[in-house]
Structure 1
Amino acid sequence: MRKISGVLMAGAVAAALAGCSSDGAGGGGKGDGSYTVGIANFTLSGPYFIGMDKAIKAQAKKKGVEIVSTDAGGDAAKLASNVEDLLSKNVDAVIVSGGPLESAPAVLNSIKAAGKPAVLVDRKFRSGTYSSWIGPDNEAIGKQNGQFLAQHLPKGGTVAIVKGGPADNSIGLDRTKGVKAALSQAFGIKLVEAPDFGDWSTDGGLKVMESLLASHPDISAVACENDAMCLGAQRAVKDAGRQDKIVLAGVDGQTEALKAILDGTNYLVTGLNDADQIGSLGLDRTVDILDGKKTEKDTVVPSPRVTKENAEKYYDPEGNF
């Protein structure tokens, strides 16, 4: 099951990182495990970020760590305000789940000035000082999806790309860059990028895919920047009666996507970017820093390709994501 696999991998990653050093701000806590950790969520509007928040809380409960969680509702100013509020409550550290936010200098500066560790999960900001980051290699995930589609379409075809947005979102840009890099080397592949963004949501993916189907009747495959949009795209393809002609590739390993893959639908592949795993590792990393342990500054979490052949290994209907 996916939850069990994630816990085992988290332990393996933690063991592998023993003895590495961190040069970020903060570190060196009470050492007795009695910590209060704040979670500064930029947004809790999607399944991935909700799952991340739940995973951090679940791991904290196992370790006896108190959690104070906040939601900025996608507002950068509110995120900064929430962090100030967390610091006023004298939390021992702050975990920042930045979502689509590219940078948060005020947030990181406040945490640094307070002498507290700042641990980033999933999103690594383009600037600012932090103690540690744990997340995926998004370009590599995109590349492996592109390679899979190239193998699935040996005679070529039209591949549509559904993007989350906004235009400068580096997570989406990296995933699409990886897909394009792989498919540009493939025989007879034509790429079509949707002009509108799917906003990382199922409804958004549905709308974008409906538009693509109307303007490009020759689509053979769809590569989405996340699973939520791809689930919406899959619905649009089914509504159009083209599920036997179009296959889909997503990213993240969302439970519903893994179920669709297991069930043998036209949803064929995703790249694992498990919110449960990254959230758990983020909490563990925070506690290690507070305990004064040596930790790695940046940790890339493996993102295996998930297909029908191995999806059961990662599928957990009881997971947070």
Structure 2
Amino acid sequence: MKKLVLVLLITLLACGFVFAGGQKSGGAQGAVKIGIAVPTADHGWTGGIGWWADYAVDQIKKTAGNTVEFRVVHSANATQQVSDVENLATWGMNYLVILPHESAPLTAPVKQLHAKGVKCIVVDRGLTDTSFGYVNLAGDNAGLGRFSGQWLAKTMKAEGLTNYVAMGGMPVVIDTERMDAFFAEMNKEPSLVNLLGGNKYEFANWSVQDGLKIMETFLTQYPKIDAVFCQDDDVLTGVLQAIKESGRQDIKIVLGGAGSKVVYELIKAGDPLVRATTLYHPSMISDGIQYAVDVAAGRKSDAFHNASSPTAVVIPSGLVDKSNVDQYYNADSTF
């Protein structure tokens, strides 16, 4: 699907980059400047964010010529990202596409840029100040939980499975949205039993190592586990390692989320434990870049900039299984 989006974007650009005011760019001096600020990889998903940012820019530049200039910065922490954004401002960007390392420290710098006329696309994590106009483009967290719960409940019931354990990310709003939606679906099927009780789960911090440790504990605590929901495909990697090292044969399903290349490959290969995942994909940064390009070219409105609050744009989640995995798989991606 992302490949199709980029092909469409490139095709449009090949027809000539047109500014929102209707004037065609006349060379590098009149080029639109788009700054892109992303975190460096602290886990697989953020690594994917960086890769997809660079990939999208490379694809667009092949046909956009000198009508648009990009500058991508990868920041190790919030302090560096503030400095990197300031450098992008000095460069003279017209648009900022940013996935904030942390929302609070980046809010004031982004608001200052907005006041100077820079149009801002904030990806995934919103800002702490919602009194000015920017696009907040994010994935569907509740959708991730809902699709996960629907698929897992249906599959467990069909296969006569009953017992499951669950892991989340960390105690933040998006995690609560995901897990509440997940349990809402699981609780519709009375035959399913959460071994931790009620809607309880453990925080795995979207980490391979934490997934490994928590699963090792679950394997010690519970003599029979039919299924594991671990919400994240990095966590899933650690869960699979713990299961393999334990030699346990009772576990029949492991379901993560986000949509990593590793999990796509397991699905494609017909892995008996990993048959599906749900989307919250780092390619959303390419959607943010596309949004900026489309506004600059007049294909999308720039009215969000003068709004008194952020404009929310939600990228739908969905289920990926063997029937559609080839639409999402990119062999070159790092995630």
Which whole-Å deviations, capped at 9, do the CAs of 1:132-168 have from their partners, x for residues lacking one?
A: 2333211112111111111122245232222221x12
Question: Is contact 2:226-2:250 (8 Å) kept?
Answer: no
CA distance in 2, matches of 1:117, 1:72: 21
Pairing of 1:6-21 with structure 2 (within 5 A): 6-9=2-5
Q: Which has the higher contact order (CA 8 A, sep 6+)?
A: 1
Matches within 5 A, 1:205-216: 205-216=211-222
Q: Contact conserved, 1:121 with 1:133, CA < 8 A, in 2?
A: yes
User: What is the CA distance between 1:116 and its match in structure 2?
Assistant: 0.5
Query: What is the Cα deviation at residue 293 of structure 1?
Result: 4.2
Counterpart-to-counterpart distance in 2, 1:160 and 1:103: 36
Distance 2:249 2:298 in 1: 54
- What displacement does 1:244 show? 4.8
1:161 aligns with 2:166: yes
Q: 1:105 & 1:233 partners in 2: Cα distance?
A: 36
| 1:238 is aligned to 2:244 | yes
- Provide closer, same or farther for how the CA distance between residues 87 and 118 of structure 1 changes in structure 2, counting only shifts above 3 A: same
Partner of 2:332: 318
Distance 1:230 1:61, change over 3 A: same
Cα distance per residue 1:9-49 (max 9 Å; x no partner): 567899xxxxxxxxxxxx87986272332222244212222
Distance 1:102 1:142, change over 3 A: farther
Gap change, CA 1:219 and 1:53, over 3 Å in 2? same
- Say if 1:159 and 1:223, in contact at 8 Å, map to a contact too: yes
Q: Are 1:59 and 1:280, in contact at CA under 8 Å, matched by a contact in 2?
A: yes
For residues 104 and 263 of structure 2, the distance between their equivalents in structure 1, rounded to whole angstroms, comes to 26
Residue 122 of structure 1 pairs with residue 128 of structure 2: no
Residue pair 2:164, 2:227 contacting (<8 A) in 1 also: yes
2:139 counterpart (122, 136, 139): 136
Is 1:174 aligned to residue 174 of structure 2?
A: no
- Which residue is 1:222 aligned to? 228
Tell me the residue number matched to 1:39.
Answer: 36
Does 2:53 match 1:56? yes
Identity of aligned residues (%): 25
Kept in 2: contact 1:142–1:175 (CA 8 A) = yes
Residue aligning to 2:89:
87
The structure with more radius of gyration: 2
Q: How far, CA to CA, are the matches of 1:201 and 1:141 in structure 2?
A: 18
Q: Secondary structure at the match of 1:115?
A: coil
The TM-score, its normalising length taken from structure 1, stands at 0.81
Partners of 1:77 and 1:131 lie apart in 2 by 22
Per-residue deviation, 1:258: 0.9
Q: Which runs of 5+ in 2 are unaligned?
A: 11-19, 62-67, 305-310
Matched, 1:303 2:317: yes
**Alignment root-mean-square deviation, CA:** 3.0
Give the AA of the match of 1:110: Q
User: Any gaps of 5 or more consecutive residues in structure 1?
Assistant: 15-26
Q: Output the amino acid matched with 1:107.
A: P
What is the TM-score normalised by the length of structure 2?
Answer: 0.78
SS at match of 1:242: coil
Tell me the alpha carbon deviations over residues 163-193 of structure 1, each in whole angstroms, 9 at most, x when there is no partner.
Answer: 221x12x222222121111011112222234
Tell me the equivalent position of 2:308. Answer: none
Equivalents in 2 of 1:28, 1:69: separation in Å?
A: 26
Paired amino acid for 1:6: K
1:111 paired to 2:117: no
Equivalent residues, number: 301
